[in-house]
Structure 1
Amino acid sequence: MNDLLVIAFPSEEKAEEVRQKLFTMQKEYLIELGDAVVAVKTPDGAVKLNQLFSTTALGGVSGAFWGALIGLIFMMPLAGAAIGAGAGAVSGALTDFGIDDKFMKDVASAIPPGGAALFLLVRKMTTDKVLEGLKGVGGVVLRTSFDKSKEDAIRAALTAQPASA
């Protein structure tokens, strides 16, 4: 089973930096990602997705899933219930991760224009080593489907001071 992790960052550059760190950890077999997508809110409020590889080719979630999820998140404050039938088509997949109206509104409001969110599907990870690698990168955890103890550890790692080299 995949776990969803959404982390907000003040800029696209910071979200991309963290994503690249995770890709490096994946090459070291410390984490297995189903996907890693950066969603950027432009200064005019539009959203662009930066998805580096085809998830279907890797057996991950389809681009339609990400498009639907992120589209719903950033359209929700404007469109509200008018999304209707389109939202119903993906609601089954989204509810598996605990994604509801409140979550979508929270994510949309947590990302200011120019900010970004890193959406991760984590298949498995060597938690202690991944958290050590993420120490001090910043960001705010907006959602995770991990258990409370792992969620707390992720939050602590993001805000901790990195170890001296």
Structure 2
Amino acid sequence: MPTTSLTVLKFDSPDGAEEALEVIEDLNQRQLITLHDAAIVSWPEDKKKPKTRQLSSLTGAGALTGAFWGLLFGLIFLIPFFGLALGAAMGALAGSMADVGISDDFIKSVRNKVTKGTSALFLMTSGAVQDKVVEAMKDMDFELIASNLSKEQEEKLREAFADD
């Protein structure tokens, strides 16, 4: 069974993640990637906080619950606004997230890069036909922020999407 990975792609516009999700959904339909779940964070320039949306049309063994996405987005976007007591509780939760490859570095990286005027696409996928995915995504302008892939897998992915 292929390994499932959580990947975060950042876009320099509030609607970039939405457009990329359409490409990924098409690849999923064509069986070139298995999309287990996805969520989008969009942060319009004129808003104080980002808007989040889970792709609710997916169900099945790989799909995550709203609680997972809520916890992840809470860890990423709300910690700076809470007091220390809640910060400690969130720290304990963050420790349990590390078990699924979501480290403090992962959380900090997303928090520092997904800011006003940007968007991010959070993907839970497996079985990607990498050359086909790279081909479909090559014209999209994004940054791979974080992934729980192995270092080697992540480096290959970064190389594939590096600017020529």
Shorter-chain TM-score: which interval? 0.7 to 0.9
Contact 1:40 1:48 survives alignment (8 Å)? yes
Match of 2:138 among 112, 135, 138: 135
Separation (CA, whole Å) in 2 of partners of 1:150 and 1:131 = 14
How much does 1:126 deviate?
A: 1.1
Separation (CA, whole Å) in 2 of partners of 1:87 and 1:61 = 21
Contact 1:33 1:122 survives alignment (8 Å)? yes
How much does 1:44 deviate?
A: 3.1
| Identity fraction in percent | 31
Q: 1:61 to 1:91 in 2, by over 3 A?
A: farther
Separation (CA, whole Å) in 1 of partners of 2:104 and 2:148 = 16
Q: 1:137 to 1:159 in 2, by over 3 A?
A: farther
Equivalent AA in structure 1 for residue 29 of structure 2: K
Matched, 1:125 2:128: yes
How much does 1:34 deviate?
A: 1.2
Farther off after superposition, 101-110 or 3-12 = 101-110
Match of 1:20 among 17, 22, 29: 22
Contact 2:94 2:103 survives alignment (8 Å)? no
Equivalent position SS for 1:29: coil
In structure 2, stretches of 5+ residues that fail to align are none
| 1:10 matched residue in structure 2 | 12
What is the TM-score of this pair, normalised by structure 1? 0.82
In structure 1, stretches of 5+ residues that fail to align are none
Separation (CA, whole Å) in 1 of partners of 2:12 and 2:32 = 26
Farther off after superposition, 4-13 or 45-54 = 45-54
Superposition misfits of 4+ residues, deviation over 4 angstroms? none
